[in-house]
Amino acid sequence: MPRAIRGVLVQCDPSIKSIISKIDNEEHAFIVEELDDQTLVIKENMMTTLKMKLDEILKETQNNDESSSDE
């Protein structure tokens, strides 16, 4: 019998989508379906965890950009 997975439709820039895909490749726990280069379906119960991981990565890249511009 087929099982349904509750998902959230996420639209984002291709650069953010690639980061989300990279996170999912490590754990295979977030993406239900990749619809196109800007749209994903994410598991509803994993959305908060994904947001936290994405925020961490974006903060790291911003810190790297700021430190390299200081030099």
Chain segment 7-26, per-residue pLDDT in tens: 999 999 999 999 999 999 99
Is residue 16 exposed (0-12), middle (13-18) or buried (19+ Cβ within 10 Å)?
middle
- More confidently predicted of 68 and 29: 29
pLDDT at 71: 56
What confidence category does residue 69 fall into, taking pLDDT thresholds of 50, 70 and 90? low
Provide the percentage of residues in the chain whose pLDDT is more than 90. Answer: 79
CB 23 within 8 A of CB 30: yes
pLDDT at 29 over 80: yes
Domains with residue ranges and CATH for the chain? 8-59 (3.30.70.1220)
Query: What pTM value is reported for the model?
Result: 0.83
